[in-house]
Chains A and B, each alone.
Chain A
Amino acid sequence: SQQGEEDPQALSIQEGENATMNCSYKTSINNLQWYRQNSGRGLVHLILIRSNEREKHSGRLRVTLDTSKKSSSLLITASRAADTASYFCVPRAGANNLFFGTGTRLTVIP
């Protein structure tokens, strides 16, 4: 399977707390991408981390990648109600298409 598996399936936190989501995958990758999908809307690309990178930051997002364990994590700091969404990790192995799992559904309670 080329898709990532997100864990947990659902996460509920208070506004201002940090949210951590994990991703495991099975293939060798060129890069790994995280996407967000708000309820009933399209997907938005958040961040891409290449296979030779271990950590990457973008605003309140921090992504780590451990290729030896075939795992990644997405940390959202100081969460906001607007962060409520489903988050998907997409491992890329060079194919031209994307394979999505079922995601982590994050709920941020105001």
Chain B
Amino acid sequence: NAGVTQTPKFQVLKTGQSMTLQCAQDMNHEYMSWYRQDPGMGLRLIHYSVGAGITDQGEVPNGYNVSRSTTEDFPLRLLSAAPSQTSVYFCASSYEEGTGGYTFGSGTRLTVV
């Protein structure tokens, strides 16, 4: 049981490039979310999903797209990378509201130059 797996762990992009951050969980969790963590700002929600085929925007969705074609996978796409998107990105999942905490991946450190 691997939990939540994020890839890659590190990435450097040039401004304007696009890429996809991968997130996969093997716990059959319905709920999945993407967060970014910046110094002094805590974690901010980017997008989330309550099940396959359903996604919604969080606090800071601009510049990011998501899809949820399967229960296991929740990729985050950066459409045209900007230096402001330099951050650490975390994916998290939970199987049911209110019954426990979320399981987080180990994060992706992204630098946009």
Chain A residues packing against B (C-beta within 8 Å): 3, 30-31, 33, 35, 41-46, 48, 88, 92, 94, 96-103
A100 to B40, CA, bound (A): 11
In addition to A41-B107, A99-B45, A102-B40, 9 A-B residue pairs with Cβ atoms within 8 Å of each other are A42-B106, A42-B107, A43-B104, A48-B100, A88-B43, A96-B97, A97-B58, A98-B92, A102-B42
**What is the size category of the interface that chain B forms with chain A?**
20 to 34
Nearest A residue to B41 by beta-carbon distance?
A102
Contacts of B92 in A (CB 8 A): 43, 98
Contacts of A102 in B (CB 8 A): 40-42
From residue A48, how far is it (CB to closest CB) to chain B in Å?
Answer: 6
What 5 A-B pairs come out closest when comparing CB atoms? A45-B101, A100-B43, A43-B104, A42-B104, A100-B42
| Chain B residues within 8 Å of A, Cβ to Cβ | 31, 33, 35, 40-45, 48, 50, 58-59, 90, 92, 97-98, 100-107
Query: CA–CA, A97 to B97, complex, Å?
Result: 9
A98 to B46 alpha-carbon distance, docked (Å): 11
* A92 and B100 contact, Cβ closer than 8 Å, known pairs A3-B42, A98-B33: no
From B39, which residue of chain A is reached at the shortest CB distance? A102
Inter-chain CA distance A94–B43, complex, in Å, is 18
For residue B59, which residues in chain A have a CB less than 8 angstroms away from its CB? Answer: 99
| Interface CB pairs A-B, < 8 A, 14 | A3-B42, A30-B98, A41-B106, A44-B104, A45-B102, A46-B101, A88-B43, A96-B97, A97-B58, A98-B35, A98-B43, A100-B35, A100-B44, A101-B42
Q: For the complex, what is the distance from the CA of A44 to the CA of B40, rounded to whole Å?
A: 19
**What residues on A are CB-neighbors of B105 within 8 Å?**
42
Enumerate chain B residues within 8 angstroms of A103, measured Cβ to Cβ: 42
Taking CB atoms, residues of chain A closer than 8 Å to B40 are: 102
